[in-house]
Amino acid sequence: MSGTDSERASQGPLRQRVEDGLGAWAHVVLRFRWPIALGVLVLTGALASLIPQMEVKMASEDFLFEDDPVRAVYDEFRRDFGQDQVTIVAVSPPEIFDLAFLEKLEAFHRDLEDELPYLEEVTSLVNVRSTYGRGDELVVEDLLDEMPGNEKELAAFRERVLSTPFYFKTGMLSSDGRATGIRVEVAVYGEGADVFDGELDLAGFDGEFEDAFAEEGTDESVRKRPFLSGVENARVIESIHRVIARHAGPDFPVMAAGGTMMTYEFTKQLGKDVPLFFGGGLVVIGLFLIVLFRRFSPVLLSFSVVVPATISTFGLASILRLPFSAPAQLIPSFLL
C-alpha cells in the first residue's frame, strides 16, 4: 500500500467519526430546537450585559503588547520620570494683564486643582516659578503669589512677565502675548497605586536605608503598581470639561488639547462609530442577500448567526479582561 493510500486509510475513520458527530449534533439541535434557541438568546443577552464593562484602551502604548521591549522601555521611563502626556488648556482673553482676568484665572486654576482626580500638578501663571533678585538675596516664589492690587503693581507685573523668556518657552504665554496656557499633568499610577507589598525598614537611616531600597521585593512591588487606566483618564478629561464649562465665557474663552485629550476624544468617537458601521454593514449585506436570493429567509438565517456571534465575542472578551482597542473595531467587519 502506498503512502497516500495509507494516509487515506488512517484518515478515513477519523473523518467518519467527525461527520457522524456533526450529524448527531444536528439531530439534537433539530429535536430540541426551541430550548436551544432560547438558551442561545439567554446566553447572548447575558454576554451582552458584560460589554459595557469592557475596558477601552486607545493610548499609543496600548498598540504594543505589555512584554514588548519597546513598551517595557516606555513603562520604565514613566516610572522614573512621570507621565509624558499632558493636557494644555489655552485661554485667550481680550487682555491678559487685567486684574479681573487674573482673578478669574486664579479661580479657574484652583478649581482644576480641587476637582480633578488623579492629578499630579497644574501649572499656570498663578503658580509658575518666579525667580528674581531683591537686594543681596535670590527670591523664588509663585508668579502670582501676591495678586497685583492696583494699576501700578499690574504694570510692574506685566513688565516682569514679558521680559522673562522662560514664560514663553514653557507655554505660559503665547509668542504674541495674547494667550496664556495652563498645563495639567495627570498621575502616572491609578487606583490601588498606594498599596505597597514590599517590606521596607527605615528605622536606621544609615546603611540599612540603602539595603531596604535594594530589596528585591521593594522593586517588584513598584513594578506591580497599575498605571492610570483609560477609564481613569476619562474621568480626568470629563472633570476638565466640567470646570471649563463653568468658567468659559466671552471674556474667558477656553480651548483644551493634548495627548490625553486626543485619546479621550478618539475613544468617544470610536464608541459611536463601531455601532454605526456595524449596523450599516448589516443593512447593506441584508439588501444584497435579498437581491441575490429574492427571499427574506437567508437574511434572517445569516443575521441570527452573525449578530449573536459578534455580541458573544465582545462579551467573552470582557470576561477574559481583553481590552477593546483600535484594531478590535475590525472584528465586526470580519464576522460580517
**Is 152 or 227 the better-scoring residue by pLDDT?**
152
Residue 11 binned pLDDT confidence (cut-offs 50, 70, 90): low
Cβ(95)–Cβ(257) under 8 Å? Answer: no
Please state, in angstroms and rounded to a whole number, the distance separating the CA atoms of residues 181 and 172: 5
197-230 residue pLDDT tens: 444 444 454 554 455 444 444 455 555 678 887 7
User: What is the pLDDT, as a whole number, of residue 217?
Assistant: 46
Task: Label residue 72 by pLDDT band (50, 70, 90).
Answer: confident
Other Cβ atoms within 10 Å of 103 Cβ, number:
12
* CA neighbor of 47 nearest in space, from 317, 329, 328: 317
Distances (CA, A) of 124 to 89, 236, 277, 280, 316: 9, 18, 42, 46, 45
Nearest to 232 by CA among 275, 189, 262, 278: 189
Helices (H), the chain: 3-31, 33-48, 69-81, 99-115, 151-162, 165-169, 207-213, 216-223, 230-247, 259-293, 297-319, 331-335
Rounded CA gap, 163 and 124, in Å?
17
Residue 184 — very low, low, confident or very high, per pLDDT cuts 50/70/90? very high
> pTM for this structure?
0.71
The more confident residue out of 54 and 41 is 41
Contact 218, 198 (CB under 8 A): yes
Report d(CA 49, CA 219) in Å as an integer.
39
How do residues 226-283 score in pLDDT, each as one tens digit? 888 778 888 999 999 999 999 999 999 999 998 888 888 888 888 788 888 888 888 8
Q: Taking the mean position of all CA atoms in its chain, how far away is CA 194?
A: 21
Contact between 125 and 105 (Cβ < 8 Å):
yes
